[in-house]
Structure 1
């Protein structure tokens, strides 16, 4: 999640005018194309050709005419010709032209869902998927594995030989699958691995993939790819909810490192001292920004860092997220109320005790 957000910020570093356009991509292909053409024409008329160009290339970039597409997309463009499309797992709508990419809506959509590998293991066949904005099938591995013989009798020795052959074949297949997953992850690193399959192969599969360097989590066997994607998202959402609750509890119970409320959070963001910044829900909060060094504030007349004058900042939470990400902090947007509500819905942890 943070990696994709950082790519957007890095792509537009040094720009002083950036268009951010979030679009939902629901409906059939014809509806999407008609919607994109309408928005493209309107942008060209109201802003300029530079703003409409990313929309014109969106159909090809996201392959909207082929297979499944994300539920939303964030488009970023600048007059210098830079542009970037960020697929999103949920529909988002909005448009802003400002001095930086409008990143908070993307963070809210991306936070619950890590980039992950999803492995669906059948007997003698393994499908590897990549989950980002959608579940994308990457590769399939297969190997003939004889079934174990379950009945006993006068052919017991032969049955045992066939059983050992089945176990050896399955073990080799799972090792090959694990190695291939390592190779794919070296090319496109992810945050975790989800594994599903029949009860017959899951114990051996979890053991083989459990040696992987990423966290490995299990899922109930799905009925279809759509069912698999739904299960992955639900499991990721449940995990994110619990991890966010744990982080908020740490913030509230760590007096030496806790940051509570807007004013404290702004101070630590300015000092680049945050390890984690948590925002309950995306909303508009106005503040101020230093005209010289870019430090943020609520209502100060002079910059708290360099003493220069301050100008209006129309989206303080987004500016805080932007500055925190660039300083290496983790930024989470919960998208729901939490125990931080009593502290203006904002909290964090500093890297060191204060």
Structure 2
């Protein structure tokens, strides 16, 4: 009969075979600090319109409550490290800057399939029950990532590793099996403030704190309706997400190559022309972003973002586009078009 240690070693090897950059294990109850941190975040209103974060807080704050029978949490990191400088497009005002993770295939689908294959392998080898999660359930992945030793939550609140930087998707396999746990990772940010000073909107009120209401990723993806005018100019040409704080992290010198070519940018999504994106109707938007995480925000919110970027472009030649969208049926799009036209006048 194989020992628990042998099973764990084989599990880690199998995770590598599946393409994961790292595999570590912790207990569901190894994150006692999460409830207080979550409460402070919500009490400050930092979650903005993300009302779902204030729901199921008993699960979100305590993974042991999510599935009481679970005895181990297998935490996995999958690299999506870009091959080129992700900030290059930010200096091209006629183009749209799309976050690296959203330029290719939707990571939810790819990571979940790998997690399920790994979970099936584990059941076949040792029995037990499993549940897999990837960013779609009230699971504090980053806190569990630190508790398992995958990395630590940096000052930008994202997980950072000495081995693979911070360009990684996280997934978890909860299991009733009692597997040997790894030691938690310690903080290695030191006095560095690179990620904090890189933020265009000053979304970090303090190190390790994020006010989502000022975060460009939140504003371009989660926020419904018009964006506060004070922040529109700071969006630059970022039309879906933002990589500034991630790209600034010095630990990325150890970043490992993306494990799946499907994370590479689709043709035209590394630096798409704003003029072409602004002309998308609903059908064209759905076709262009089929299988992409961008599709979930819908045409209206996406074109709203594109119009803010056009307003920030300084290119009067784009005024014809803004004028054509002033009468758009969506109020936020029409408002963004009027604002952009004023900026270009």
TM-score interval, smaller chain: under 0.3
Larger radius of gyration: 1
In the superposition, the TM-score normalised over structure 2's length comes to 0.24
When you count strand as a share of all residues, which structure comes out higher? 1
When you count helix as a share of all residues, which structure comes out higher? 2
In the superposition, the TM-score normalised over structure 1's length comes to 0.24
Whose RCO is larger (CA < 8 A, sep 6+)?
2
